[in-house]
Amino acid sequence: MNYIIQNHTALIFTDLDATFLDKDNFSFANNVDIANKLVSSGNYVIFNTSKTFAEIIHFFEKHSISFPFICENGAAIYLPPGIIDSQKNKRAQFEILFESKRIDSSIRNFKKILKKRFGPNIIFFNDLSHSEQVKLSGLEDDNLKLAVKREYSELILFNSIGSKQIDELYNFVKFHNFQLIKGGRFFHLSYDCNKGFAMQVLVNTFKKYYSNREFITIALGDNENDIGMLNQANYPCLISGGDDKLISKKINSENLIISKQTAPEGWIECINNTFKMIRG
């Protein structure tokens, strides 16, 4: 399929787990090849994920690719060299566009407060045994080591008996000036950041730096933590496999596409359907 949009550049923001990658075995069919084709057609593919910096860099190196990316649910934005030449600070070979506040003593102290308030119902991923981490994350060996290298967030399991307790947890976290985001497998505790905000920062940067271009935004995700990103996009795409009906009700767009297939095949299904829609 031809991914060139006449007189426009597509900024394609995509979640990874259960969107670009299979939810359970993390396979990606031919999505890397399609992503490369999108880029060679003059577009940008941007990973917008809860994964860590270390996980994404490992994925890039393993598959010989390099895209702009947003990690840990909007906590940091990094660009390959040459996209925005004015960036001075670098991390590895990537230019730093934005970094949120890192985990520090404040959030570590708050973990103690959460444990005291919610008791055994709240469990931090880092407190689990290795075998429990493997079972709950689906990751092993080096992949698990990369996943726990979290710099901006803490992973939480919350054993609630209903929505009332979950609301209580959200309110308690917010009262203490932290943020809780529901991901596919875990809750993510962090300072104030989210995928939608980080996406908008990057879109505005592209528009400012490439003021002579017209941009179209596409976003692909599957879960609650993707809602902000999906609502920012001209063309939001919801990958089937989660609570599709509940999530779709929270996406305010006439252009919403919901895949028939789950990830990874649902990703390319949505990409192709989106480009067909754009062309009319």
Our measurement of the distance from residue 198's CA atom to the centroid of its chain's CA atoms, rounded to an integer in Å, reads 10
For residues 278 and 235, the answer to whether their CB atoms sit within 8 Å is yes
Write down the residue that tokens 């939608």 correspond to: 196
Q: Between helices 163-175 and 105-118, what is the axis angle to 10°?
A: 150
**What is the per-residue pLDDT for 96?**
95
Query: What CATH number has the domain spanning 9-100+194-279?
Result: 3.40.50.1000
Q: Give the CA distances from residue 203 to residues 78, 82, 251, 269, in Å, rounded to whole numbers and listed in that order.
A: 13, 16, 19, 24
Q: 20, 11, 89, 25: which is closest to 50 by C-alpha? A: 20
Q: Which amino acid is it at 232?
A: Q
Q: What does DSSP say about strands 257-262 and 235-240: parallel, antiparallel, or unpaired?
A: parallel
> Which portions of the chain are predicted below pLDDT 70?
86-87, 161
Say what the pTM is.
0.95
Cβ count within 10 A of residue 260 = 10
pLDDT tens for 135-158 read 999 999 999 999 999 999 999 999
What distance in Å separates the CA atoms of residue 132 and residue 244, rounded to the nearest whole number?
A: 28
pLDDT at 162: 73
Cα(first)–Cα(last) distance of the chain, in Å?
15
Give the per-residue pLDDT at 207: 97
Residue with tokens 């950041």: 193
Would you list the domain boundaries of the chain?
9-100+194-279, 105-190
pLDDT digits (tens, 9 = 90+) for 16-35: 999 999 999 999 999 999 99
CATH topology of domain 105-190: Threonyl-tRNA Synthetase; Chain A, domain 2 (3.30.980)
Q: What's the one-letter identity of residue 74?
A: G
**9-100+194-279 with 105-190: one CATH topology?**
no
Beta carbons of 115 and 122 less than 8 angstroms apart:
yes
Alpha helix (H) residue ranges in the chain:
31-40, 53-63, 105-118, 130-137, 141-147, 163-175, 195-209, 227-232, 244-248, 265-279
With both helix axes pointing from N to C terminus, report the angle between 31-40 and 265-279 in degrees, rounded to the nearest 10: 30
In the numeric block, which tokens belong to residue 207? 């528009």
